[in-house]
Each structure stands twice: as C-alpha cells, then as structure tokens.
Amino acid sequence: MNRLHDDMTALWGELTSLWDNVRSWVAFVIAPLAVPVIASLTARYFDATQDWLNVIVSISLMAGYLGTFLIGLPLYLLLRAFNLTAFWLAPAIGFVVGFAMTYLVALSLGVEPEMVRSGFWSRTLFGAAIQFGGPAGAVVGALLWLIARPDRQRRSVAHTTE
C-alpha cells in the first residue's frame, strides 16, 4: 500500500510539473476567446443579424488574439521579470489594452484618424472603447492571470530512488 501511495505521489508531482510548464501558454490560448464571446453576447443583445454577428465575432476573435499576443504577452513577460504579479494589475492592464485595441481595430477598418478626433466618431468610438473594449480586455487579463498564475513559483519534482 505504501508503494502505491509513493507511485501516486510521484505521478501527481509529474502532472503538477507538466501543468506548471504549460500553464502560461494555455492561458494565452484560452483567455482571448473571451473577446468574441463578449462581442457575440453584446451583438445578440442589440439584435444583430446573423451576417453581422459573423463579422463581429470574426473581427473580435482576431482583435482579441492580436491584442493578447502583440501587447499582452510582452507586458506579461515584463511584469513577471520585475515580479509585478498582483491580480489587480491583470484586469487593469487588460482594460487599457482592450481600450487601445478598439481604436486600432477602428483605424484598421477604415475609420479616418480625423474622424476619431472629432465629432460623432469620437464620442461613438470612445463609448465603444469604454463600454466594450476596455471591459473585454479586463476579462481577458483576469482570465489570463487566473490560468497562468504568475504569482506562483514553478514547482520542481523531487525524484527519489530507493
């Protein structure tokens, strides 16, 4: 019975070590999926047609992953390097990244920079960034932190020979 316990303990240690090694990458694959989920729920709330829903989900999927990998990953690595791993930082930085990505997506879709700075587009885009982009980014940041758990040190598996 003691041997079985030792084997199970060793197996659990190996699985824990494996999870610790892939946890960050899993977080960066899973967390950005929150953006199209939130976008589709928002679009459904406003009675978007199926065609618009497809467009919104496609654009938000690309924006979620682009923002996460191009902006979020370098920030994640930088914060971890300086041991800034408090939970509150993840949604706060995620909000800023989501807010910025809303503007970048609008500009990439052809909204002129002059339109963004003045008048209707300025109010509309700022509202979209505050009401959708920022909160979606905050959710991605929080999910990323909860999965990756940058506050935890990696555990090593102690191998013993008997």
pLDDT digits (tens, 9 = 90+) for 21-34: 788 899 999 999 99
Average pLDDT, the chain: 83
- pTM strictly above 0.85: no
pLDDT of res. 157: 47
Provide the Cα torsion 67, 69, 75, 80; round to 10°: 140
pLDDT of res. 15: 65
Q: Which residue has the higher pLDDT, 22 or 122?
A: 22
* pLDDT higher than 60, residue 52: yes
pLDDT of res. 159: 45
Q: Alpha carbon of 52 to those of 25, 32, 126, 134, 158: distances in Å?
A: 31, 20, 21, 21, 54
The residues, ordered by sequence, that sit 6+ positions from 45 with a Cβ below 8 Å of its Cβ are: none
Q: How far apart are CA 108 and CA 97, in angstroms?
A: 16
